[in-house]
Structure 1
Amino acid sequence: MKKEDLLARYEALGDERDFAVAQALYEQAVSENSNARVLADYGYLLESHGRNELRRAIELYERAIDLDPSYDRAHYQLISARAGLQEPELPVAIYEQRVADSPGEVREQRFLAIAYLKTHDYRRALAAAGDGLALAPNDPPLIALRGEARAGLGDPEGALADWRCALALDADDISALYSSAFLLERLGRLTEATQAWESIIEWGERHGDTLHNEWPKQELARLRALRKAPGRSR
């Protein structure tokens, strides 16, 4: 069967055997004599496979939540996976209802703020984080989420201040450091972005996390090279 026919079958039926054979044929075609259609078709095959895998992941996250509703990570991953499928509005509806059902639950405000962030609705994300902080003023995750909303609303200094605060309250969660590094680079503040990556690497070394330090080291090297480029900010 031709690779194009296998692609059509996989798109229609989602049979992993069709995907495996089609992938091998497209890999061969790309290595031998690729053209625009071959590249686009192979990309679409991989995209379709990725969507199917995400749907499977969503099923697993939903089962995990059913088994243990208190396991926060499953909620976060579910929200992220839905966004990956371009369905971010589905978690919004779910967690809006959960907040309405449990208005005093701080964790529900966290989930809702993240769901809003995935839809790029930064104003509602800011409001959800604020509602949660009214219940728990020193909650590090909510402060960090407020920072994400402020960054989305064009308030970088407010975002950076929130992330510094979140780190000061919980030094074991350095997600705010990553957010700071990305934002500082977008702002062209490469020296500060470099310092953020250095702090991430230092944290990993203190905690013996050599595996997860590999990518930060690559980012640090990239930024250092970028700073040396003619005409770039130092």
Structure 2
Amino acid sequence: MKLRLFEQKRVRVKRTLTIAVVTALSAITSVSCSNNKDVLVTEIGVTPPSRRVATTSQAGRLYIQGQSQHVKGDSTGAIASYTKAINLNPKYSAAYKGRGLAYFDLGDKQKAIADYNEAIRLTPNDVEAYNSRGNARAALGDNRGAISDYNEAVRLSPNYAEAYNNRANARSAQGDKKGAIEDYNQAILLDPKSAIAYNNRGNTRAAQGDKQGAIQDYTEAIRLNRNFGPAYNNRGNARAAQGDKQGAIQDLQQAAAIFQSQNNNDLYQQVMNNIKELN
């Protein structure tokens, strides 16, 4: 009994968004007892506003305003602010990148890619722009293009754990489980506290039939982040596959409580349906 969501993008601030990212596995859809459906997670960073940006210019002030709006969940307002900054300074690569993230949040992946393209043209060594464009390409099902971008991000910054995690997601979506595991291992080596990387490696191990290894990874993800709903959900799935009905229900109940506390009613209801089927 498995619940397939899709990649949950966690903005590195105090808010959480759930989005469909890698369409090769399908978007949030259904509950099934026969398919392997787990929660895959990726991070895309929205940097909190910094006053170190050149606030002496109007474009700089608008950029900071856009960051603040995005952090607060106002993607439409952020886009308007970034656009004004770009109009004042057409070579403002950070504003293109910020606007791309806001477009991504609103679901317009093509406009996001167009902005990342411009950011990369203006700043060819922008690692985050390559990583973000890779995520947008993956969201459109272009895993090959996504991997190309993640490769470039890793080449430019070999210690960029997030790019390894995201490349692993794309490799897993393409069926390259071995390559995915290698990338998750590297992401964990670089960032041992990454609950996301442990969760995703657990998914790949489960897909390989290594249920116990998957449970170990989900358990570590939970140890690192006690409020990480996807890991509880996924561990519940793995325990159910092992015949541990009681353990599965406990994990799914915890996942449901977390999703409910986050006001994520869709995921809460789907987990509750899983629990009913188990019972």
Which band: TM-score by shorter chain? Answer: 0.5 to 0.7
> Mapping of 1:1-234 within 5 angstroms?
57-63=108-114, 65=116, 70=128, 74=132, 77-78=135-136, 80-83=138-141, 87-205=142-260, 207=261, 209=262, 211-227=263-279
Q: Please tell me the root mean square deviation across aligned C-alpha atoms, in Å.
A: 3.1
Contact 1:190 1:223 in 2 (8 A): no
Give unmatched runs, 5+ long, in structure 2: 1-106, 120-125
Counterpart AA for 1:213 = N
Contact 1:57 1:81 in 2 (8 A): no
Q: CA deviation at 1:161?
A: 1.0
1:74-108 alpha-carbon deviations (Å, 9 max, x no partner): 5575254233xxx3222122212321222121122
Q: TM-score, normalised by structure 1?
A: 0.58
The structure whose RCO (Cα within 8 Å, separation 6+) is larger is: 2
| Distance across 2 between alignment mates of 1:181 and 1:79 | 31
1:115-143 alpha-carbon deviations (Å, 9 max, x no partner): 11221211101101112222222322222
Q: CA deviation at 1:193?
A: 2.8
Structure number with the higher helix fraction is 1
| Distance across 1 between alignment mates of 2:129 and 2:199 | 20
- Alpha carbons of 1:159 and 1:76: their partners in 2 closer, same or farther (altered >3 Å)? farther
Contact 2:218 2:232 in 1 (8 A): yes
Give unmatched runs, 5+ long, in structure 1: 1-55, 228-234
Q: CA deviation at 1:181?
A: 3.2
Aligned length: 166
Contact 2:154 2:163 in 1 (8 A): yes
| Distance across 1 between alignment mates of 2:200 and 2:274 | 27
